[in-house]
Chains A and B, each alone.
Chain A
Amino acid sequence: MAQPIYRKAVEDTVPKVNNEIAVGEDVEFQRKWWKFEKLVWAAFICFVLLDLAGVFGRGPLSKAHLATADGTVNVSYERVQRTGTPSTLKVEFRDRAIRNKQIRLWAGEDLVSKLGNKQIAPQPATSAVGDGGLHYTFPATTEPAEIVFSLQPPSPGLYDLSLGVDDFPAFHFKILVMP
C-alpha cells in the first residue's frame, strides 16, 4: 500500500518588514557582521604587509646572514622559507678557510632530509656521510669562493641546521619552513 503523503501547515515564520512583506531581515546580526568584517579586513591588510616585509618568507626580513668573527666564512640564507618553494643557502670563504686550494665543509643532516637540498654549486669533489651529517670537499682556485646550496623544503616545520668549516667554530641556526 502506498505511503500517505506527509503534509504540514504553512506557518508565517519569516519576519515581515512594515508588516507587509516577508523578508526575514536581521539588521542586528548584519551590524555585528559588518563590525566583524572590519576586523577581518584589518587582519588581511596586516597579513599582506607582514608578507611583503618577509615575515612569512621571500622578503627582506626573512634574509639572514652569519659570519665568523674575522669575516672569513659568511653564510647567507633565508631564516623563513616556504614548503616546496626554492631558496638558496650561500657560504662564502676567504683566506684561511681555503687550504691547499680546497674547502672542507660539514653540513648537518637536516640540510638534505628536512630542507630538501637538491643541488650544490659547484659540485663537491668528495662527499661522505659522518658525524650526523655530510662532509664535503670542494675545489677552490679563486678567492672569495662561494658554495650555493639549492633548497626546496618538502614539509613545514622548524629545523636546526649546522654548518662547520675546519678550524672555525660551527654555525648553528634555525630555519622556519612555512606551510
Chain B
Amino acid sequence: MASVLRAVFGYAFLVFMVRVVGRRPGKQMTPFEFVLIFFIGGLTLTFVVGDEASFTNAIGQIMTIAILHYLIAWARTKSSAFARLTDGTPLVLLEKGQWRPLAMKGMRIADDDVMASARDKELKSFDEIEYAILERNGEISIIKASEML
C-alpha cells in the first residue's frame, strides 16, 4: 500500500518538476539538461523504492506508474485544459522577422537555440525563418519563409 502511494507521489512529483523546470528535453537536450533529468529521476527513486527492493514491489510500482500514465494520456485527449496543464501550449518564438522576447525569456530559450533548429532545416540565417514555434514536446519547429509563399 505504502509503496504504491510512494510511486503515485513520485510520478506526480516528477511530472510537476519537469513541467516547472522547463520544456527543453528531447531534441534540444543539452548535456547539463541530461544531468538534470537523470539526477532528479535518481533522487526520486531513493524515496519511491525505499528499502523495499523486492520483485513484487518493483512490479507493483511499475504497474502503478503505467496506470497513472495511461490515465493522464486519456485525460489529455478528453480535456484541452488538462492537456495545457500537463504539456503547456505551443508558443511562437519568432514571427515574420520579429522575436517574441517574453516567450523567449519565459521559456529560457536563447536565439542560438532557435538557430540550431533552423540549421537542422538547412537554413543559414534568421531571415530565412518565417515562424519558429516552441512545441509542447520541447522541440522548436521552423517554418521557412519560402514555404509561406
Contacts and interface: CB of A to CB of B under 8 A. Distances in A.
B148 A25 contact: no
A68 B95 CA distance: 74
B51 to A, nearest CB: 7
A30 B88 contact: yes
Interface residues of A, number: 17
A40 B89 contact: no
A33 B131 CA distance: 23
Given A40-B20, A84-B50, A29 B92 contact: no
Contacts of A37: 20
B90 interface: yes
B106 A30 contact: yes
A29 B89 contact: yes
Nearest to B147: A21
Contact of B89 (A20, A21, A30): A30
A102 to B, nearest CB: 38
Contacts of B143: 21
A103 B82 CA distance: 64
Contacts of B84: 26, 29
A126 interface: no
A21 B131 contact: yes
B133 interface: yes
Interface in B35-83: 50-51
A72 B88 CA distance: 63
A17 B88 CA distance: 17
Report which residue of B50, B89, B95, B96 has the largest number of chain A beta carbons within 10 angstroms of its beta carbon.
B89
B91 to A, nearest CB: 6
A169 interface: no
B51 A25 contact: no
Contacts of A24: 89-90
Nearest to B141: A23
Contacts of A30: 88-89, 91, 103, 106
Given A26-B84, A30-B106, A34-B106, A17 B92 contact: yes
Contact of A25 (B20, B50, B92, B106): B92
Contacts of B103: 30
B131 A26 contact: no
Nearest to B2: A155
10 contacts: A17-B95, A17-B131, A18-B95, A20-B148, A23-B131, A25-B91, A25-B92, A25-B133, A30-B88, A30-B103
Interface of A: 17-18, 20-21, 23-27, 29-30, 33-34, 37, 40-41, 84
